Amino acid sequence: MQDDTPHAALLAHLWDEAALLVLQLDPMGRVTHANAFANRHLGNELAGRDFRDLLVNFAVPADFDIRTCANSSPFVLNFNTPSGQPATYRVGVLATDDGLLTIGSPDIDGLEKLQWQVLKLNGELSNMSRQLHQANAELTRLNALKDRFLGMAAHDLRKPLGAIMAYVDFLRNEAAAALTAEHAGFLATIAQAAARMRGMIDSFLDVSVIQSGKLRLERSPVTAESIMAGIRPILDVAARTKEVKLTVDLGGSVLVLDVDAGKIEQVLTNLVGNAIEHSSPGATVSVSVRASGSTAVFAVHDEAVGIPEDRLEHLFEPFERAGTHKSGGERSIGLGLAIAHKIVEAHGGRIRVDSQWGRGSTFTVELPIIPTTNGGEA
């Protein structure tokens, strides 16, 4: 019993008073007990933590495992502290019946070396940050030049393209009797190509305006019914051409919106047009308008193949595509949805998509409703 007294006093000193880092670890290398010094310098919530998590990441080898260090010569380790300043200890590791016991004493030389490493890394980080800032500034400048070029190029292409379309219309209307079927086919092909090019030019101009921050909205009160009426003739033609059934359900209520009607028509024409172009003959594209609280919800649903899940997150970014082919082989430059997204956001609304592969897609556009004087919804 007398031999146990000094032993017990030594253990009590280690756990309660010694200026040493003492940590008891289980066979998996997790902390089970920490002495008072360790709790003060490394934090009070050490129990249960993996020993490696206590170390400064950049100063420890990737393959370091404290369990392989039992009964080896003492070595230097750098620990994280609550203050954010690392602390350096020379650590010895002893194997015990129930795991490991680590005992560390402060190491001044090791701390100075670590501080030098931190200063060096901070200098490298500052240089990298400065280079990144310069690169970002250059990218911003180049992106502005790109947008300006696209806007100027698209604007300059409009005039000659307009002349081509005008002369094609003239030949088809005024010289129809003198044209052979083959010549008429040539003119139809030219007209289709010119119309497609005009759509691309308009998209580039829209993107140029939006990204320059100069998108202007000419708002006025307009009903959801009148918006749909404005685009219905164009969409009916597109649906008949693809042999797709188009249904529109206005919900039986009058919803008044404070929007730029032309811009919202552009958004809905794009969404419904895409749905039609991705649909096979005999399929149905449905458009519905409902009130949800103080919001009008336009929903466009198709029965096409849907959109792959990995494309959904980036679908509304410029030049992104759905990853599926349109059923008629129609081409797209991937700007329509990006433009629609920006227009809806500018109105204080939201656009989103729900899609399941093989079961079609539903695009919804949410826009604020103008409340009526009696407190209800218009």
At 158-187, the pLDDT tens digits run: 678 778 888 888 888 888 888 888 888 888
Residue 107 banded pLDDT, cuts 50, 70, 90: confident
Which pLDDT does position 140 carry in this prediction? Answer: 79
Which pLDDT does position 199 carry in this prediction? Answer: 67
Question: Is residue 363's pLDDT more than 90?
Answer: yes
Distance CA 180, CA 250 (A): 46
* pLDDT tens per residue, range 228-239: 998 888 888 889
Backbone angles phi, psi at 146, to 5 degrees: -60, -45
DSSP assignment string, 29-98: SBEEEE-HHHHHHH-S--TT-BGGGGB-GGGS-TT--GGGGTT---EEEEE--TTS--EEEEEEEEEETT
Question: Is residue 378's pLDDT more than 50?
Answer: no
318 and 334 in contact (C-beta within 8 Å)?
yes
CATH of domain 132-211: 1.10.287
Find all residues with CB under 8 Å of 59, minimum gap 6, and list them: 78, 86, 114, 117
Find all residues with CB under 8 Å of 357, minimum gap 6, and list them: 305, 306, 307, 308, 309
* pLDDT tens per residue, range 212-265: 666 788 899 999 999 999 888 888 888 998 999 999 999 888 899 999 888 899
Domain boundaries, the chain: 4-106, 132-211, 220-368
User: Average pLDDT of 342-350?
Assistant: 90
> How much of the chain exceeds pLDDT 70, in percent?
82
User: Average pLDDT of 5-25?
Assistant: 82
Beta bridge partners, 222, equal: 257
> How much of the chain exceeds pLDDT 90, in percent?
29
Question: Is residue 108's pLDDT more than 90?
Answer: no
Question: Is residue 332's pLDDT more than 80?
Answer: no
What H or E segment, with its residue span, contains residue 223?
A: strand 220-223
Mean pLDDT (the chain, rounded): 82
The 3-state DSSP class for residue 150 equals helix
Name the class of domain 4-106.
alpha beta
CATH tag for 220-368 (out of 3.30.565.10, 1.10.3260.10, 3.40.50.1820, 3.90.1150.10):
3.30.565.10
For the ranges 66-70, 127-131, 282-286, the lowest mean pLDDT is seen at 127-131
Q: How many CA atoms lie within 13 A of 285 on its CB side?
A: 28
318 and 329 in contact (C-beta within 8 Å)?
no
Which pLDDT does position 210 carry in this prediction? Answer: 67
Question: Is residue 127's pLDDT more than 90?
Answer: no
Q: Kindly give the interhelix angle for 261-278 and 224-242, rounded to the nearest 10 degrees.
A: 30
Residue 1 banded pLDDT, cuts 50, 70, 90: very low
Question: Is residue 329's pLDDT more than 50?
Answer: no
Which pLDDT does position 72 carry in this prediction? Answer: 87
